[in-house]
Amino acid sequence: MKITVSVIKADIGSIAGHVRVHQDTIEVAKKKLETAKEEGLVIDYYVFNAGDDLELLITHTKGVDNPEIHELSWEIFKESAKKAKELKLYAAGQDLLKESFSGNIKGMGPGVAEIEFEERPAEPFAVFAADKTEPGAFNLPVFRIFADPFNTAGLIIDPKMHAGFKFIIMDVIEGKEIELQTPEDLYDILALIGHTGRYIIKFVYSKDPTIGVAAAVSTQRLSLIAGRYIGKDDPVCIIRAQHGLPAMGEILEAFSQAHLVKGWMRGSHHGPLMPVPLKYSQCTRFDGPPRVVGLGFNLCEGKLIGPIDLFDDPAFDLVRQKAMLITDYIRSMGPFEPHMLGPEELEYTTLPEVLKRLKNRWREST
């Protein structure tokens, strides 16, 4: 049976600043998805939050980029944004950039990761959602999961993974994509994806066609859609596990670095990505630090069995402590690079105005 797993998300407004999604807006989403389930449009759903981002996980049989599923999501975001406006929540409707729906939710503000595949006899997968960062934040962990044998033992010892994987990498500035393979194109892949603001791993495929797609990451960048800053493109990612794919533990191992990502505070700072359970899925200190939640499921004829709150585990305590050590260290730099992003990447800046005002005070340097 071919199943589609869609994760569609938007910041529709949040409580106490950019801290956390309000429960009432989550209830709006659940109610609409329950109706869609009763009507048979979707098989199952799970609604959760990554900080101030409302996350819809939907299973169905309609394939990726399906207008009905995208329209349903759009309507859910519109209605929950309406609730957010009623409650006078902060930045209500932040990510909803267009007025009316026109067939595909991509390019309208929300972030989308979707995969369609033949459900295996056992189909474990994980959904990751991050706040106060951008799609390129997943480049490093996804690379490590599917291409780094120091992270993923299966690349060496599992005969079904030893051939490597195919990566679809998107250039979000040019709107183009390229297919590269591991291990043969390893260095070319790294030459691109280290530049996390531009080259983003969008899909990973197994080289075994019976397995097909292994991972998907949302690649929407709001600033590129709107042509101005309206919030960060807090990303989502779906990864299938086991049986020819990385073990769930290999997938989670890649989040043990607290690696530095862009998008903290006003979308304009680097900070460590901290893996947290749902109860800590809220951004506080300096609007952060950037956080990622991970939910594990199995599929049963498209029904969601789970979730397991994957980072709700002392196994990640030291990673979180490391993230806080990095936080203290990098925060001490205040408005200096590389804590603050460079001028071309700042989401907003006073620099042009300051330069204009100081224009006549410059003199030739001797």
Contacts with ligand 13P, residue ranges (CB under 6 A)? 11, 18, 51-52, 94, 131-132, 231-232, 234, 242, 247, 249, 265-267, 287
The answer to the question of residue 234 lying near Mg ion (CB under 5 A) is yes
HEC profile for 114-149? Answer: EEEEECCCCEEEEEEEEECCCHHHHHHHHHHHHHCC
Cβ(124)–Cβ(295) under 8 Å?
A: no
Minimum CB–partner distance for residue 329 and Mg ion (Å)? 24
Q: Is 302 left (phi over 0), alpha (psi -120 to 50) or beta?
A: left
Cβ(8)–Cβ(58) under 8 Å?
A: yes
- Alpha-carbon distance values, 71 to 4, 36, 65, 76, 269 (Å): 16, 12, 10, 8, 34
Question: Could you confirm whether 83 is annotated as catalytic?
Answer: no
# of chain residues touching Mg ion (CB under 5 A): 7
The answer to the question of residue 287 lying near Mg ion (CB under 5 A) is no
Contacted entry of ligand 13P, Mg ion, none for residue 235, CB cut-off 5 to 8 Å set by kind: none
The answer to the question of residue 95 lying near Mg ion (CB under 5 A) is no
Phi, psi of 292 (to 5 degrees): -130, 135
Question: Could you confirm whether 312 is annotated as catalytic?
Answer: no
Minimum CB–partner distance for residue 222 and ligand 13P (Å)? 8
Minimum CB–partner distance for residue 120 and Mg ion (Å)? 33
Give the DSSP H/E element, type plus range, for residue 261: strand 260-263
CA 304 to chain centre: 20
Minimum CB–partner distance for residue 191 and ligand 13P (Å)? 29
The single residue of 30, 158, 207, 229 carrying the catalytic annotation is: 229
User: Taking the CA atoms of the chain, what radius of gyration do you get in angstroms?
Assistant: 20
Overall size of the chain counted in residues: 366
C-beta of 180 vs 241, nearer to ligand 13P: 241
Question: Could you confirm whether 229 is annotated as catalytic?
Answer: yes
C-beta of 19 vs 178, nearer to ligand 13P: 19
C-beta of 91 vs 186, nearer to Mg ion: 91
Minimum CB–partner distance for residue 105 and ligand 13P (Å)? 18
Binding mask 34-73 toward Mg ion (x if CB under 5 A, else -) reads: ------------------xx--------------------
The single residue of 202, 232, 234, 287 carrying the catalytic annotation is: 232
* CA neighbor of 283 nearest in space, from 323, 256, 223, 312: 323
C-beta of 263 vs 275, nearer to ligand 13P: 263
Determine the angle formed by the axes of helices 139-147 and 186-193, rounding to 10 degrees: 170
- Footprint of Mg ion (CB under 5 A): 11, 18, 52-53, 91, 131, 234
For the annotated catalytic residues, the residue numbers are: 11, 229, 232
